Amino acid sequence: MTQSVSLVIFEGGLVHSALEMQMQMVRQGMVLDLVHRAQQGGLDNIVVVTSYPDLAAWLGPTGVVVVLDQEIGEEPFHFGRRLRDIVEEYRLQKVLYMGGAAAPLISSSEFSYLRELLEQNEGVLLANNYYSADIVGFTPGQVL
């Protein structure tokens, strides 16, 4: 029996200037595109973690789970702890993680390929670059 693969996308941060605001808007558009292509690639369980209320609102109609993190600035962000918290909270078993601007040119067929690799295998780690990964897949989720 296969378990479904969950895509987790993180997109957030602080914005201090007009240029950063413009980049934020571009990145939010990229997240919307990623979600659409991931859904076309058969990823039905998608969790987007963001600090941007506008992005959270735009994602509403897509059917993805949106986690609005408004804690930025209260304590230093720790990527590993936050990802672990999301995996535990949503009981994710087969996880594909990426940053919001990690792969703007990824296709739905590439999402499908990554999904199939994780669905069909246990105890695996996938990464687009082992030294500085933008996309990471792993199973089981509890390894974090």
For residue range 85-122, what is the model confidence (pLDDT) as tens digits? 999 999 999 999 999 999 999 999 999 999 999 999 99
| DSSP structure class, residue 143 | G
Number of domains in the chain: 1
Residue 97 and residue 114 in contact, taking contact as beta carbons nearer than 8 Å: no
Reported as type and span, the H/E element at residue 38 is helix 18-40
Q: Give the pLDDT confidence of 23-62 residue by residue, as tens digits.
A: 999 999 999 999 999 999 999 999 999 999 999 999 999 9
- Look up the domain containing 85 and give its range: 5-143
Tokens 């997240």 sit at which residue? 31
Reported as type and span, the H/E element at residue 97 is strand 94-99
Q: How far is CA 42 from CA 38, 123, 137, in A?
A: 7, 21, 15
Q: What is the CATH number of the domain that holds 97?
A: 3.90.550.10
Residues whose CB falls within 8 Å of the CB of residue 59, separated by 6 or more in sequence, listed in order: 31, 32, 35, 48, 50, 66
